[in-house]
């Protein structure tokens, strides 16, 4: 999963029951379904909060509305980035 895809992914693209992230904007214009590993799933679930809309980003840019708190952001972002990008 490309860096830009990770940071632009919305909750509507994450299918928890199928353990997959649907990526529609790709370099070659072909949609992909990415199965996150177990660590990535834990990290994704850890940043989910009640009241989020399907259009909200899974990882909003730091400092933006909806971003996770700085004291927990560093650990969660780094875990998610390392597990998705390995």
Q: Tell me the CA distances in angstroms from 63 to 4, 31, 47, 66, one per residue in order.
A: 17, 30, 15, 8
Residue closest to 76 by CA, chosen among 23, 40, 34: 40
Q: How confident is the model at residue 61 (pLDDT cuts 50, 70, 90)?
A: low
Q: What is the pLDDT of residues 46-59, one digit of tens each?
A: 888 888 899 988 87
**Residue keyed to tokens 């790709």:** 26
Q: What is the pLDDT of residues 2-46, one digit of tens each?
A: 777 887 889 999 998 999 999 887 788 888 898 888 888 888 888
Contact 65, 56 (CB under 8 A): no
């Amino acid at each position: 999963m490309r860096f830009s895809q990770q940071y632009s992914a919305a909750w509507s693209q994450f299918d928890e029951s199928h353990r997959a992230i649907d990526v529609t904007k790709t370099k070659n214009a072909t949609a992909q379904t990415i199965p996150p590993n177990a660590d990535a799933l834990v990290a994704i679930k850890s940043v989910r909060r009640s009241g989020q809309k399907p259009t909200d980003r899974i990882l909003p840019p730091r400092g933006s509305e909806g971003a996770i708190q700085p004291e927990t952001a560093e650990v969660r972002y780094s875990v998610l980035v390392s597990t998705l990008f390995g």
